[in-house]
Amino acid sequence: MIVGIPKEIKDNEKRVSLTPFGAQELMKSGNTVFVENNAGLGSGFSNNQYIKSGAIILDSPEDIFSKSDIIIKVKEPQSEEIKYIKENQIIFTFFHFAASNELTHQMIDTGATCLAYETVQNNNGTLPILIPMSEVAGRMSVQNGAKCLEGNMGGKGKLLGGVPGVDASTVTILGGGIVGTNAAKLAAGLGAKVYILDINMDRLRYLDDIMPANVQTMYSNYHNISDLLRYTDLLIGSVLVVGSKAPTLVNKNMLKNMNFGSVIVDVAVDQGGCVESCKPTTHNEPTYIVDDIVHYCVSNMPGSVPHTSTLALTNITLPYIETLSNYGLKNSLLNDQSLLKGLNIHQGRICHQGVAKSFDLNYHDSLSLFS
């Protein structure tokens, strides 16, 4: 197959979807890899490195899209890219369709096949491609939240871990998945008092066993969240419902429970957010204030550490890309149930129940489309 790697054009997105090593591995199987000019520069990979790997550099995104059978990206196609997408072309990237009715219908209209990183799912329920980016985002939520707590950022001027004789900050984390677990580890390591909430009791028992003494697990419900907000300095939203919009756990009225200068970091904002007052922001203007509460809602947090993120992403996506490029779409999906779950749209039809439910669209069983 011909694999195309376009340069990411979403605001402040410096990641690239494949490293030179990844390109080299695809070439070993007889595939052709086209890389857009300077696509890897933001992640620390030069054109020359890709050329040495055997890839071919093309000058424009139009060239990449027009000549490729499969397009590998990091973020969802932007409007400037969608016009280049061809019918039956495979697009493999983070889509987060449930957060955008417009994007969903735009991709339906292209007639392309959309495989979403975030819904590729193993039989045990884990999301292998989402995991590395969730690990990065979870750690960065604490890193950025701690910065926002500083007085010059509009925060209440508290050090996350305090100092001897001065109390530490309180961090409340909504969701005990990969993002929440990594956030709790980092916050606890910095000396904060941490509460992590979830509705899965088995997960809470597991977290209770592995976390240090300054991490407290609690069942997630309206009462517990409302009570914790009264003394929370940093609130981190990390709720995920696979393929669907994140549930709203903190409404605007609940912000009144939080003290002046508290901080909210909603990692779930790319899935619609679990805090009602949160809206997507960019790395250029990452924060805004609502009711004296600092909001940090950057939807592509891992994009600010592109070298680490690109390496972590390629580590997990490369085997799937190799399968698709070596065996084709139909054989790949029929022989890999986890990849089949990544199929969201095929030839104008919705193939993921979460996406269909989000916009009241007809759902088509994936297997029936390839039988």
CATH of the domain at 99: 3.40.50.720
Q: Report if residue 176 sits inside a domain.
A: yes
Task: Report the pLDDT averaged over residues 141-147.
Answer: 97
Asked if residue 108 and residue 29 are part of one domain, the reply reads: yes
CA contacts within 13 A on the Cβ side of 222: 5
Question: 198 with 172, same domain?
Answer: yes
Q: Band the pLDDT of 361: cuts 50, 70, 90.
A: very high
Is 125 inside a domain boundary? no
Selection from 295, 284, 228, 227 nearest residue 261 by Cα: 295
Is residue 99 situated within a structural domain?
A: yes
Catalytic residue among 63, 270, 346, 364: 270
pTM higher than 0.75 for the full model? yes
- The answer, yes or no, to whether residue 125 has pLDDT greater than 80, is yes
Checking if the pLDDT of 12 tops 90, the result is no
Question: CA–CA distance from 348 to each of 17, 199, 279 (Å)?
Answer: 25, 35, 29
Task: Confirm whether 267 is domain-assigned.
Answer: yes
Check whether 367 has a pLDDT greater than 90.
Answer: no
| Number of domains into which the chain is organized | 2
Do 283 and 175 reside in the same domain of the chain?
Answer: yes
Is 115 found in the same domain as 71? yes
d(CA 354, CA 29): 35
Domain end among 254, 281, 299? 299
pLDDT band at 300 (very low <50, low <70, confident <90, very high): confident
| Domain assignment of residue 124, yes or no | no
74 and 192 together in one domain: no
Residue 292 covered by a domain: yes
**204 and 83 assigned to the same domain:** no
**Dihedral (CA of 242, 245, 251, 252) sign:** positive
- Answer yes or no: do 136 and 261 share one domain: yes
Are residues 34 and 16 both part of a single domain? yes
Q: Which domain holds residue 248?
A: 131-299
Q: Is residue 168 part of a domain?
A: yes
Buried-exposed string 194-213: b where 16+ CB fall within 10 A, e elsewhere: bbbbbeeeebbeebeeebee
Does position 357 have pLDDT exceeding 80, yes or no?
yes
- pLDDT at site 240: 83
- Asked if 160 and 212 sit in the same domain, the reply is yes
Whether 307 is catalytic is no
126, part of any domain: no
Note if 96 is an active site residue.
yes
In this structure, the answer to whether residues 52 and 166 fall within a common structural domain is: no
Residues 93 and 14 in one domain: yes
pLDDT tens column, 161-219? 999 999 999 999 999 999 999 999 999 999 999 999 999 999 999 999 999 999 999 99
List the one residue out of 187, 191, 185, 184 whose CA is nearest residue 164. 191
Q: Tell me if 329 sits within 8 A of 152, measured CB to CB.
A: no
% residues pLDDT > 70 (the chain): 100
- Percent over 90 (pLDDT), the chain: 92
- Whether residues 34 and 69 share a domain: the answer is yes
Select from 299, 316, 341 the last residue of a domain.
299
If you average pLDDT over every residue of the chain, what do you get?
95
63, 96, 295, 352: which is the annotated catalytic residue?
A: 96
Show which of 299, 333, 352 is a domain's final residue: 299
